[in-house]
Structure 1
Amino acid sequence: MIEFEVPESLDADGYLFQYGKVNWFPEPTFALGIVRQLEVVDSAGEHESYVQVQFELRYPLDDDLDSVGSHSEWWFSGGGVSFESWLGSVERAKISNRLAAKVPRDFMIWQEIV
């Protein structure tokens, strides 16, 4: 993890781990993604927006992945759980074993302000 100076609010620095079937592509797709979220404040220190950098692997949806369902979980720097502990649970997630034998269709990286 790269440390950044961020505001003191609980959701100023966070990660989201998520996966599941998505329906906004022409072909049936299963997506697994990690999002890094950083809060942006104005010169007075007031919340202005969040910057989110997203990494997403997209797989053709098959019966195996269709049966997985979906999952999402956030980690925030002020949440009481260490990043290393949270990341370890993400690395041990059962979905990793299922995806290890599959070939992703796409790998996308993008940034947006929300």
Structure 2
Amino acid sequence: MSDQPPFHIASTTFHHLLAARGLTVDRLRADTALRLFQTFADVRFESPVSPSSDGLRYAVARGEHAGHPAVALVLARRFGVRRPGGGTERHVEFRCTLWFADTPDLADLPEHEEWWFRGGAEERDMAGWFDSLSARPEWAVLRWRRPVAVDVSHVEL
């Protein structure tokens, strides 16, 4: 039995970290969300021991929110769910998505997605990965912008 908390309390853990900073989801901005997510990423949760069972995903994508064009900043953590006999049965993803109105100053913002995985031979330094994200070109535009909405959810994959 692992002494690490189960992945299904990830959302609760994220909200506790948020509250400890005196924040609520609706007060998150991109910079605050990324720093909070880095703290959240440091929390170890129970998951199968495999390189793809605890991963972080960062994405900037275009889409629609509430029927309007929007840019989404997605901070996600994917957890492997143990199979009764061992190994990974499926994945669950915790997501914090910040939605920004697609204004003219965001028109040239490139879509981007990248992953970081805990474990495995090619594991990069997590702090360095977060530093590289905050140095990306979208941060000059999104860093202090107020999103039109923030969604926090668990998704079965």
Q: Please, what TM-score do these two structures have when normalized by structure 1?
A: 0.89
Q: Which amino acid aligns with 2:145?
A: K
> Where do 1:1-114 residues align within 5 Å?
1-23=42-64, 25-78=66-119, 79-114=122-157
Q: 1:46 to 1:8 in 2, by over 3 A?
A: closer
Q: Percent sequence identity over matched residues? A: 24
Contact 2:48 2:87 in 1 (8 A): no
Q: Which amino acid aligns with 1:42?
A: R
- Distance, in Å, in 1 between the alignment partners of 2:108 and 2:138 is 11
* Cα displacement (A) at 1:99: 1.1
* Cα displacement (A) at 1:69: 1.8
- 1:103 match: secondary structure: coil
- 2:123 match: secondary structure: coil
Q: Which runs of 5+ in 1 are unaligned?
A: none
**Greater strand fraction, Structure 1 or Structure 2:** 1
- 1:28 match: secondary structure: strand
**Greater helix fraction, Structure 1 or Structure 2:** 2
What is the number of equivalent residue pairs in this alignment?
114
Q: Which has the higher contact order (CA 8 A, sep 6+)?
A: 1
- Distance, in Å, in 1 between the alignment partners of 2:154 and 2:71 is 20
Q: Which runs of 5+ in 2 are unaligned?
A: 1-41
* Cα displacement (A) at 1:91: 2.2
Range with bigger deviation, 27-36 or 1-10: 1-10
Q: 1:53 to 1:82 in 2, by over 3 A?
A: same
- 1:8 match: secondary structure: coil
Deviations 1:7-40 (A, max 9, x none): 2221110000000211465111111010001100
